[in-house]
Amino acid sequence: MAAVDTLATARPRANRTISWLVLAIAIALIVATPFLPNYHVRVLNSLLIYILLGIGLNIVIGYTGLLDLGFVAFYAVGAYSYGLLASPQLGLHMPFLVILLVAACLGAVTGILLGIPVLRLRGDYLAIVTLGFGEIIRIIINNLDWLTGGPQGIARLDKASILGIQIARPIDFFWLLLITVLLVGTVVWRLERSILGKAWAAIREDQDAARGIGINTTNAKLAAFATSATIGSIAGAIFAASQRFVSPESFTLQESVLIVLMIVVGGIGNIFGIVAGAAILILLPELLREFAEWRILFLGLLMISLIIVRPAGIVPRSFGPEKLIRGLFGK
């Protein structure tokens, strides 16, 4: 017990320094962004989209402990929602916010539909079946030419606007994405701390014992799948609006794997871990662009060393938003 006590009393000062540092870096980055060239803003936007995706997938992988390799399917659902409802493809030009709502609902529905058949599966089996689902959705999109434009995708998507304000330049999307990430991040963090989040953790630790204390694991898991898919779908809709083009190429298995890697490298189950994981896996390849074919090797080596040095991820599980707030504002 003594050891536990000293740990608890020795930490607050270090925690305070780290918390202020994290906040300072975040604010500096945000303030600087409007002055960056468009190319750099685009990179940051892609970072934010991946953070959003990571937050979504982490609900299933990190909180509930279910290895889902088909997450990209929901990203595609959101992207094609925008592609079909705001383009000449079907001649529909719905407002951005309405589409966002539609995408969120469609995401939740697909999340549940894909969740039901895999309820009994865990571990490797679950990973393989969800991987299959991800691919099936991509293949369907690829072959449904009359609706989705097939491999060519859908071009000339509408410019997005929210309540009359046009969202077109990269910096506009930066603000939109930043607000979305903060909002979604807060909701998900609060969910994790709610009684539902505790049940997810219990399912992750021991599904059968969770049933033994009265948790309807079917419902709790479907809630996790649905929430996660909703977030993926929202990310997809914003992505499509910012690209003004969608095609199946953006939704390959590789994307799913990349998001899983982000979560694992950053620290499973921790929102801040996702930010760190995304920073490494999205920003680094951009920074290493000059080294062309070498960068994959670089990344591979980095991943291997990270997994050896910090097998539980870069950010410790204990350093979550709660710890940050305590570090900033005292007890």
Partner 1 sequence: MTLVFQSLRKVYGEVVAIDDVSTAFAPGMIHGVIGPNGAGKSTLINMTAGSYTVSSGSITLDGKRLDKLKKYQIANSGIARTYQNIRLFDQMTAIENLEVCFYPAEVAAAWREVIWPPYANAQRRRRREKCMEILRVFDLQGYADVDARGLPYGRQRMLEIARALVANPRVLLLDEPAAGLNHHETAELTAKLTALRSPDRIMIVVEHDMDLVMTLCDSIIVMHHGKLLFRGTPAEVQASTDVQLAYLGTANDIDDIRAAAQNRRAQLGIRTRRRS
Binding site for partner 1 (CB under 8 A): 1, 4, 187, 190-191, 193-196, 198-199, 201-202, 204-206, 208-217, 219-220
CA of 197: how far to CAs of 176, 193, 268, in Å?
27, 6, 15
Whether the CB-CB separation of 287 and 330 falls below 8 Å is answered with: no
Whether the CB-CB separation of 215 and 204 falls below 8 Å is answered with: no
CA distance 67 to 123: 6
CA distance 275 to 256: 16
The structure tokens listed for 233 are 């779908």
Closest CB to partner 1 among 151 and 212? 212
Q: Bridge-partner residues for 161, per DSSP?
A: 166
Q: Which residues contact 33 (CB under 8 A, 6 or more apart)?
A: 41, 44, 171, 174
Q: How far is the CB of 223 from partner 1 (least distance, A)?
A: 8
Whether the CB-CB separation of 157 and 27 falls below 8 Å is answered with: no
Q: How far is the CB of 104 from partner 1 (least distance, A)?
A: 15
CA distance 111 to 126: 14
Q: How far is the CB of 194 from partner 1 (least distance, A)?
A: 4
Closest CB to partner 1 among 171 and 199? 199
Closest CB to partner 1 among 126 and 210? 210
Q: How far is the CB of 266 from partner 1 (least distance, A)?
A: 17
Q: How far is the CB of 260 from partner 1 (least distance, A)?
A: 19
Do you know the residue count of the chain?
331
Q: How far is the CB of 127 from partner 1 (least distance, A)?
A: 20
Closest CB to partner 1 among 143 and 216? 216
Closest CB to partner 1 among 156 and 331? 331
Closest CB to partner 1 among 191 and 299? 191
